[in-house]
Amino acid sequence: QDAPGSGDLLVEQRHHLVSKTVDEVQKIIQQLTAEISYRDMRFQAIFNSGVHNENFRVLAPSHFLITVPLRGLTGYREHQVRHWRYYTVHGAKLLSPVRDPEELQQWLEVEQFSKSLQQWHETEVNIEGDLVPAKVLAIFRELMEKSITSCNLSSKVSILESFSSVVRVAVETPDSQVEVELVPTVEIPTCWPEKARWPRCFKRWPSQEKVQCIKSFGFNLLARSNYHWQLGFSRAERLLIEGLDEDGGCRMKCFRVMRQMKEDVWCTGNKPILTTYHLQMVLFWTCEKYPRTKDWRCFREGFLRMVKKLHKCVSQHFLKHYFVRGTNLFKYANTSDLDLVAGKLAIFLENPVLCLD
């Protein structure tokens, strides 16, 4: 293991600052979701459990994603029968069918749950048996607006305009303004989705025991588009990261320094094209390719290995999702922005000594 230096201290200081901001934002969101839950029991309040809360994702220092669990839908089962939908999110009839969901998305029918609250059968969220994300988001947005006022938080929280149905708010903290996307989410802890054919074949990382454990925690369905629910794997990702370096390796140190370099040098700004989530996928792919303990004894080698993988993905505009491998996480990214980052990564890799020593 490499000896800790000033770089470690800088990473620690930045982590402390982000943790402080996370705590501030969580307190506010906790208050708002408690009020929302009081007004509509289908939405669950979020409780403060620090930076490692699986409902909470720091995409960048001032850009967070928070999932809000939905209540009253239990006993989920996969649905195999395919049929076309001929409706708009407002319930009007269409002449041609709505497009199929992408690889990381799916339809969700209320009948897929063995138990469901009557409110999920109402037309305000349900069209022809489908639970429609846009309708759930519309109700959630309205509840959020009312709760900001009733909690006297208008000076700290404002709803941001959005081109899509997603709910985004700006939160003022003592140190900075943070943008938060709030996502109503169906948590499905009972099964693993068919679309996530993971692992495809036997791999040395993670171990078979870890794979079985991860799959037993299930997945989530996130309301982030009009018609389709997005598959999410926050519990699986947390379990993969837990105990990552129990062999004494430096994987997480490599990840943290890469994240720091991304924020300070390669991809700065409030809403960067590269998020912590992208870096996490690079971490998983690199761990799978280099599964042995000896691969992670030297920080410099491990770090450069990870940055080379990142550079390859960014320059090719192609980063596979770790669990749903048919998904390119850069599919909708601005290619010229990606090329800009690829250029900075290439310059760094030509002379990495500057930032490492």
pLDDT digits (tens, 9 = 90+) for 259-276: 999 999 999 888 899 999
C-alpha R_g of the chain: 21
pLDDT surpasses 80 at 99:
yes
Distance, CA of 257 to CA of 35 (rounded, Å) = 39
Residue identified by tokens 């054919």 is 197
| In-domain check, residue 334 | yes
**Are 20 and 124 in a shared domain?**
yes
pLDDT surpasses 80 at 123:
yes
**Are 187 and 305 in a shared domain?**
no
Please report, rounded to a whole number, the percentage of residues in the chain having pLDDT higher than 70: 92
CB atoms within 10 A of CB 325: 15
**Are 158 and 293 in a shared domain?**
no
- Residue 117 and residue 42 in contact, taking contact as beta carbons nearer than 8 Å: yes
| In-domain check, residue 338 | yes
**Are 98 and 121 in a shared domain?**
yes
**Are 219 and 254 in a shared domain?**
no
pLDDT at 126: 97
pLDDT surpasses 70 at 50:
no
**Are 299 and 341 in a shared domain?**
yes
Distance, CA of 261 to CA of 250 (rounded, Å) = 17
What pLDDT, in 10s, does the model give residues 218-243? 999 999 999 999 999 999 999 999 98
**Are 127 and 51 in a shared domain?**
yes
Give the residue numbers spanning the domain of 336: 244-356
pLDDT surpasses 80 at 88:
yes
**Are 226 and 279 in a shared domain?**
no
As a whole number, the mean pLDDT across the chain is: 92
Q: What's the whole-number mean pLDDT along residues 5-22?
A: 66
| In-domain check, residue 238 | no
Q: Among 143, 171, 136, which Cα is nearest to 24's?
A: 171
**Are 208 and 255 in a shared domain?**
no
**Are 67 and 177 in a shared domain?**
yes
Query: In the chain, where does DSSP find H-type helix?
Result: 6-39, 133-150, 208-215, 234-241, 251-261, 276-289, 299-316, 335-350, 353-356
Distance, CA of 30 to CA of 49 (rounded, Å) = 10
Q: What's the whole-number mean pLDDT along residues 104-126?
A: 97
Q: How far is CA 274 from CA 26, 63, 236, 320, in A?
A: 23, 12, 21, 14
Q: Which amino acid type is present at position 95?
A: L
End-to-end CA distance of the chain: 15
pLDDT surpasses 90 at 15:
no
Q: What's the whole-number mean pLDDT along residues 109-114?
A: 96
Torsion sign over Cα 25, 28, 34, 40: negative
Domain boundary among 180, 212, 233: 233
| In-domain check, residue 89 | yes
CATH of the domain at 325: 1.10.1410.40
pLDDT at 165: 87
pLDDT at 162: 82
Q: Name the pTM for this structure.
A: 0.92
Q: Among 169, 140, 159, 182, which Cα is nearest to 35's?
A: 140
| In-domain check, residue 199 | no
Distance, CA of 279 to CA of 300 (rounded, Å) = 17
pLDDT at 18: 75
Residue identified by tokens 């501030």 is 24
Please report, rounded to a whole number, the percentage of residues in the chain having pLDDT higher than 90: 82
Residue 107's region, left for phi above 0, alpha for psi from -120 to 50, else beta, is beta
Q: Number of folded domains in the chain?
A: 2
**Are 114 and 165 in a shared domain?**
yes
pLDDT at 224: 96
| In-domain check, residue 239 | no
CATH of the domain at 219: 3.30.460.90
**Are 118 and 166 in a shared domain?**
yes
Distance, CA of 74 to CA of 234 (rounded, Å) = 19
pLDDT surpasses 90 at 67:
yes
- The DSSP secondary structure of 91-137, one letter per residue, reads S-B-SSPPPPP-TTEE--BGGGEEEE-GGGGSTTTEETTEE-HHHHH
Sorted by sequence, the CB contacts under 8 Å of residue 348 that are 6+ apart come out as 261, 265, 266, 307, 354, 355
pLDDT at 17: 66
